[in-house]
Chain A
Amino acid sequence: MFKSFAKPQSSSGVLTFIRGKRISATNPATERIVQQLSVLAAGRKQPKLLNLSNEDIVKHRTIMSAWKLFTRKKKRAEQEQLNQQYESICNAMNDLKETSPALFELASHKEKRLRFPLEMRFPTEYPPNRPWVYNFTGPVKKRK
């Protein structure tokens, strides 16, 4: 807040005092830490508040409420689809139990450690050079 006072400087044996002169951080390492601290501090780095006109505020609110409605509908549809999928899983298992107990056993067998293949990737904006590996065999397991 306040400038630290400069130490009296002696040149040719006469002390000269310069009021208000800032003493610089002596050490480059210290300077770096001060800089890092200022990067972390949030003050003055906040973006300015957008000064929108009344019409644009109303437009923005309208857009946001429409977007909320849109996403809500989308989420509801997704959940609906999942519910249907779950129902058909249950139905299939019930059918299988009645028609073929052996297959039912196979279907209800759970792996102890269920893992997705490591080759699975998140889709990117552009497809890879080889979009689909047709003769994919999976990782080779070592056998003891």
Chain B
Amino acid sequence: MTVLTRPASPVAPVRDRGRGPAAVRRRRTAVIAYLFSLPFIASFAIFMVFPLISSLGMSFTDFRSTDIPTPFAVAFVGLDQYTALFQNEQFLRSMLNTLYFVGVGIPLTMAVALVLAVALNGAITRFRTVFRVGFYAPVVTSIVAVAVVWRFILQPDGLLNTLLASIGITGPDWLGDTAWSMPSMILMAVWRNMGTLMIIFLAGLQGIPREVMEAAEVDGAGAWQRFLRVTLPMLRPTLLLGAVLLSVGYLQFFEEPFVMTKGGPLDSTLSISYFTFNQFGFGNYGTASAASYVLFVAIALLSIVQFRAFRTKE
């Protein structure tokens, strides 16, 4: 914001910096632009950039909750927090759990959303709005409220197992069994997120010109072939976008286990975010910061990889 205070420069290195009317106007525009940006930049600096940088700083110290009154009196410990993390079995477990959730959850959510979008886009002509609203409804609801119901659905003698019993299947203890707790979380996540992806995919499908589809049909391509050879390739940018949005969200996987299982049983649904939150709760701010930066790097890397993967195929 030097522009505000700097007097007219004695030397004018480029012609922009002169005293001409154009230069005066340019400077005026810059001042106005800063005034327009000021509310955002101020709150962005205090509540986003500063925490972002101090979190990185904290991850190289042994900062604990008791250090809040004297934040600069903490000891610098270099990479110790990070090396300790990668020897911490609980953290490694949380990484594997997150990987499990992302690896199964993303393809599953995208597949379900794509099927719904294709069905709503071409295969039906009536009640489209009803279906769209219905499938999207879980997105707008509070996870805390939804958890109350889902706990009942997933109880050993709950709704799901009652339904399964009626067709002769004995359902497991969904939330209490280490083998089934993660699939339960994934099921909930698919339910909560398919709507968003469905809407994005629908918009993408509507961008495919009708003539292309008709041309393929005239050439004798069946429905399945049209889907594979025309729809999917033309939908690639939309699919990429969906994958990126979903992976940024799913890597931060936290809310479902927080409200449903508290990370259990036996840490089987403990995610990286959850591990970080627990460390915050224990007062280990340095450890929490280091773990959160590991997650940040993972998100950035996965996003880059996805952009690469979708780009090179063209």
Partners in one complex: no
Taking beta carbons and an 8 Å cutoff, which residues of B are in contact with A?
none
| Interface residue ranges, A against B (CB under 8 Å) | none
